[in-house]
Every structure is written in structure tokens, then in C-alpha cells.
Amino acid sequence: SVMYRKKIIDDNNLKYDDKYIHAEDFRLMSLISRYGKIYNVKYPLIKYRKHSTNNSIVNHIAVINGSALIVKDNLVNLGIDISVEQVLRIRDLFCSRGIDTKFVYDDVRSVFQTIKSFKNKYGSGKKNFEILCTLRRMQKWLGRKNVALKPRYFFLYMSIRAYYFKESFFSSN
């Protein structure tokens, strides 16, 4: 279920975009979020019926690729240049599908830069529990062995840890 102010749609000429077939809702919500606040409702408002012919199953690749383009565009809007391939790798980090050790440093650093850019743009003084959870997970993604043996990993790890503590103790609810 989604609710938003129609005025945002009208004032900014927002509409579904056929370029993002099978991910149009995500695109529209991403655009709306640029002009107004969006919140997740904690309680289910609808029942979702899952079956073998769901759009997200039948058109899985199109959904993944379309949503990756949208995420890339959202990050560009935050001032972060990122490739679609990197977006897909970072999605795998978050979904616990595996860490590509060849890119883990760059991907974790990119997530960290994204968090800081987001906080600077949308609320540096407010505590965000999703961000805190992500910062905790990022420390594990770097891997203990890498942090112990590679100076750049250690520096990134300590930067993430310091930022986590700053966000935990010096941000308001």
C-alpha cells in the first residue's frame, strides 16, 4: 500500500516511466521521495499472494535490472557516481548472497560514502536505525583477516566504527 500527496505528482509532472518496466512503482516512489518524505508503515495493510506466475518471479531479471538502474539514478542524485554492476554487487552484500572479495573494499567504501552523503543531505542530526544496522554489518563485510592484514581495510574499518559511534551516541531520536 502506498499513500502520497497528489500535489507532489501534479507539481512535478511525475508519472510511470516505461523505461523501468516491471519496476515502475519503485521508480515513481524514488521520484516522489525527492519532493516529499516517504515512510514505511510498520504494519501490513494488504495480503500479498505469492505464486509461480508473480511478476517478480516471471520477470525476475527485468525487475533486478530495472531496480538497479533506479538505485544508480538515486545515488547520482546524492552526488555519488556508481556503475550498475557495482549496484548489483552491493545488493548481493545486503542480501547475503555472497561477497565478491575482488571488489569488497570498493563496494563497502561506496556504501559508506552513500550513507554519509544521505545523512548530510537528509538529516545529519537524526538517529536512523537502518543506517546503524548497516554500519554494523559493514564492519563484518570487510572481514577480520583483511582488517588485520591490510592497512587500507583497517583504516576504512576504523572510519566506519567511528561514524557508527558518532551516529549512535550523538544523534537524537
CB 126 within 8 A of CB 167: no
| Burial per residue of 100-121, b for 16 or more beta-carbon CB atoms within 10 angstroms, e otherwise | eeeebbebbbbbbebbbebbee
Per-residue pLDDT 10s for the chain (173 aa) are 677 888 999 999 999 988 888 889 899 999 998 888 777 788 888 887 788 888 778 888 888 889 999 999 998 888 888 899 999 988 888 887 777 788 989 999 999 998 998 888 877 677 788 889 999 999 989 888 889 999 999 999 999 999 999 988 887 76
